[in-house]
Amino acid sequence: MTAVSLSRFRRFALTLVGRTLVAVDSVRRRLSWRRDPGREAVAASAAGPNGVLVAVSHWRDEDEAPDATVPTPDHAGTDRSRMMTECVASVLELGADRVVVAVFTNEPSQTARALTSRFGHAPDLVSVEILRGIASLEATDTGGRQIFVIGWKPRVVFRHGFNLTWAHKRLFRRALDDHRFSHFVYLEDDIRFTRESFSYWCRFREPLAAYGLLPGYVRYESTDAGRFLADQSGRQRLDGPSVRVHAPRADGATASDALVVAFDNAYQGMYVLDRPLARKHFRYSPNRTLLRSLSVRHWAPSESVGHWGWRERAAAGPIFDDVPSGFTARNVVPVRNDETGGSVIDPACLIEHLSGTITASADSPFGRVSVDDPFRP
């Protein structure tokens, strides 16, 4: 058999195994006597975070070439170390008593040096520490602010470097038994996720739960010409899937009605879970493991986006779990009127894609729509 035939056979075999596992999960779910988390559990979770576990996937290749047997992710020529530390700096400011950041990387020693150089003298940071594995985190005193670096190596079956993005799943699953954490956040290493970004998710979580929806995010990139949507190939419709919810305002004032809409492309490069959402996701979701996710074909709701790859599915989290009728994904974003009466994206759900690779690409259909003019007339 040729190498191409072997690759196709391997893909077919893995997909078949994934479909079998998903089918078994479906049977388990129907036979389970456990009920889904109620509104009370969601309300308690949305009331306020007490501890946040953040996982960041970070591939390094600018200082030393990776193992030649592992295909290199397409990040050459960009300063991943700088962007990674900017990403970590943003999440250390999240509004919670405890924030623990776990950076998964193929080069733990170099990554730890970069983090120590940036945060080693921070007055409110406990430590930057290299862990041998996920189990080591359970024995640590995760109080205040801490950064842990966890090394990743290729597996026998999934040897591609993209598989690094799935390493955090096992950490989140195990951390569900640790009640020091009320929320879990996964980020690609070039995203700035701020205190305001997290506060928005907590405010909209309960109002959207009544509709089976989740607070979503919109990635943007900054250029000399302005800010542009990173994941949408065209201006969005306001007459598409949408609902109105009664959500608290960021300034603590009385809740008001907010229009939330679904964008064409659901991709956002990250996800957030609270405990009720995480329990359900890691029990039944086909996207909780790479093997299961191979069985799902129609990830992308837009014709302009092909089948989602390994990294995209790793960052999808729960947005394709139990999608309500009329929607193609669960993540929606709020819209508000600006001073001229026009419709704009609520700034609370905007997160910056630091690398700028999408708008810089001449061949990409994305990164061409202005953040200030995102909707069709």
Q: Is 231 helix (H, G, I), strand (E, B) or coil?
A: coil
The span from the CA of 313 to the CA of 290, in Å, is 8
pLDDT digits 0-9 by tens, 201-249: 999 999 999 999 999 999 999 999 999 999 998 999 898 888 999 888 7
Q: Is 237 helix (H, G, I), strand (E, B) or coil?
A: coil
Place of tokens 């390094």: 60
> For the chain, what percentages of helix, strand and coil (3-state, to nearest 5) are there?
30, 20, 45
The span from the CA of 132 to the CA of 169, in Å, is 17
Other CB atoms within 10 Å distance of the CB of residue 5: 9
Pairing relationship of beta strands 214-215 and 331-337 according to DSSP bridges? parallel
Place of tokens 């089948």: 307
Do residues 360 and 330 make contact, with C-beta atoms less than 8 angstroms apart? no
- The predicted structure's pLDDT at residue 339: 73
| Sites in the chain below the pLDDT cut of 70 | 1-48, 62-78, 133, 135-136, 138-142, 155-161, 252-255, 291-292, 295-307
The span from the CA of 277 to the CA of 249, in Å, is 23
The span from the CA of 362 to the CA of 252, in Å, is 43
User: 92: which 2 tokens?
Assistant: 């250390």
Torsion angle of C-alpha atoms 88, 90, 91, 92, degrees rounded to 10: 80
Q: Is 180 helix (H, G, I), strand (E, B) or coil?
A: coil
Residue 186 makes CB contacts below 8 A (sequence gap 6+) with: 54, 55, 56, 57, 168, 172, 270, 271, 314, 315, 317
- The predicted structure's pLDDT at residue 309: 75
Q: What is the largest CA-CA distance in the chain?
A: 67
Do residues 172 and 288 make contact, with C-beta atoms less than 8 angstroms apart? no
DSSP result, 291-302: HHHTT------S
The span from the CA of 284 to the CA of 299, in Å, is 17
